[in-house]
Amino acid sequence: MGQPLVSVVIPCMNEEKTLGSCIGKARQALERECLEGEIIVADNSTDSSGAIAKSMGATLIIPQKKGYGNAYLEGFRHARGKYFVLADADDTYDLNETPRFLAPLLAREADFVIGSRLRGEIKKDSMPWLHRYIGNPVLTKILNWLFKTNISDAHCGMRAITREGYEKLGLRSEGMEFASEMIIEAARKNLRIKEVPIAYYPRQTPSKLHSWGDGWRHLRFMMLYNPTPFFYIPGFLLFTLGAFMTLTLAMRGNVETTGLHSFILGSMLAIIGTQMVTTGSYMKIYGILNNKIEKKGLTAKLLDYHSLEFGLLTGILLFIGGMTLGSDVVLKWISSGYGSLSEVGEAVISWC
C-alpha cells in the first residue's frame, strides 16, 4: 500500500452512535475528490467504538493516556499523509466538507486551515448559549489580542494542516488546551492561517466538555505563553500604589495616629503586587525553559549567570536590612517589658 496523501485523524471517547457516520463521510469525501487517504481513530472508549472503527477499515490507535490532546498526538505519530485533517467523532462537523479544508493546502495558499462555526451556520441546539455568546468569543478575543491573530472561532474542532507545518509546532498539550496551543504555535511559527466557514450540528450524545473547567484550562494556557497582561502589569501597578501609600505615610510620621489602616492597606498592596510580579516571572521562566516563550529582552538578561549572581546578592542585602530593622523593633519591645509598642511603621516596613 502506497503512502496516503491525506491522514484524517479522529479522537474518540465512547462515540459508538456517530463514529461510523464520521468515518463514512470522510472516506466518501476523499474518494469523491480522488484523494488517496487514511483514517486514523485514536480511541480510548469503553463501548464498541473501537470495533466499529476496525470494521470500517480505519486504523485504530489506543493512546496510553486519556485526553483530547493525547489522542491527537498519538494519532499524528502514526499518520503517514502529507496533509492532516482533524475532526471530532461526535458528528457535529460534516466530514463531507473535508475537501474545502484541503483545497487551500493543496493550492499552497495556507499552511493551516481552521473552521469557523461563528461565520458559518450553527444549527439549533448544537451549541449552548454560554459557549456561543460568552465563552468562545471571549477566549477567542483574548487569544487574538495576546498573540496577534485574527481568528473568529479559536475552538472549532475541524482543522487541516500540512505535515511540514505540524512538525514545526512541537505540540505537547494533553487536554482540551491542545486546540489553543495549535493556534498559538502556528502564529509563533508564522504559519499561514486561513478560516473556512462551516456548519455545526447537534450532538446525539451528552457533551464531554466542562464549560468552566475547560475554559479555565485554555485561559491558564494563554497565561503561560504571555503572563505580562495577567501578572506583570497589574502587579506593577499594585506595587507602585502600595509603595507610594506606605512611604508617604511613613515619612509623615505618627503612623499609629494619622493613618494606620491606610498604612496597612498600602503595605498589603505592595506585597500582593510583588507576589504577582514574582508569579509572572516564574511562569515566564517556565515558558522559556519549555520553549513556549522566546528568550529575549529583560528576561534573557535576568537569566544570565551574572544577573543571577547580582539578584542573589541583592536579595541577601534586602534580607539583612529587613532583619536589622526588625531586630531594632524587637529590642525596643523587650526593653519596654513586652508591653504595647508604637513602632507599627518600622515593623511593617521591615516585614515587607
Across 314-340, b (16+ Cβ under 10 Å) vs e yields eeeeeeeeeeeeeeebeeeeeeeeeee
pLDDT in tens, 180-236: 999 999 999 999 999 999 999 998 887 777 778 888 888 888 888 888 889 989 999
pLDDT in tens, 272-288: 998 999 888 888 877 77
What's the pLDDT at 108? 96
Contact 41, 60 (CB under 8 A): yes
Average pLDDT of the segment spanning 265-277 = 89
One-letter-per-residue 3-state SS of the chain:
CCCCCEEEEEEECCCCCCHHHHHHHHHHHHHHCCCCEEEEEEECCCCCHHHHHHHCCCEEECCCCCCHHHHHHHHHHHCCCCEEEECCCCCCCCHHHHHHHHHHHHCCCCCEEEEEEEEEEECCCCCCHHHHHHHHHHHHHHHHHHHCCCCCCCCCCCEEEEHHHHHHHCCCCCCCCHHHHHHHHHHHCCCCEEEEEEEECCCCCCCCCCHHHHHHHHHHHHHHHCCHHHHHHHHHHHHHHHHHHHHHHHHHCCHHHHCHHHHHHHHHHHHHHHHHHHHHHHHHHHHHHCCCCCCCHHHHHHCCHHHHHHHHHHHHHHHHHHHHHHHHHHHHHHHCCCCCCCCHHHHHHHHC
What's the pLDDT at 191? 97
Cα gap 27→280, rounded to integer Å: 47
User: What is the distance between the terminal CA atoms of the chain, rounded to a whole angstrom?
Assistant: 70
What's the pLDDT at 217? 85
What's the pLDDT at 351? 54
Give the CA count within 13 Å in the CB-facing half-sphere of 310. Answer: 7
* Banded model confidence at residue 303, pLDDT cuts 50, 70, 90: low
Written as nine digits, the cell of 92 is 457535529
Q: Which residues does residue 121 pair with via DSSP β-bridges, in sequence order?
A: 199
pLDDT in tens, 142-185: 999 999 999 999 999 999 999 999 999 999 999 889 999 999 99
pLDDT in tens, 55-98: 999 999 999 999 999 999 999 999 999 999 999 999 999 999 99
Average pLDDT of the segment spanning 9-24 = 96
Distances (CA, A) of 123 to 90, 128, 145, 198, 270: 15, 11, 28, 11, 51
Contact 122, 145 (CB under 8 A): no
Contact 285, 227 (CB under 8 A): no
Return the domain boundaries, the chain: 6-225, 231-351
| Topology, domain 6-225 | Spore Coat Polysaccharide Biosynthesis Protein SpsA; Chain A (3.90.550)
What's the pLDDT at 343? 54
- Round the average pLDDT of the chain to a whole number and report it: 86
What's the pLDDT at 206? 78
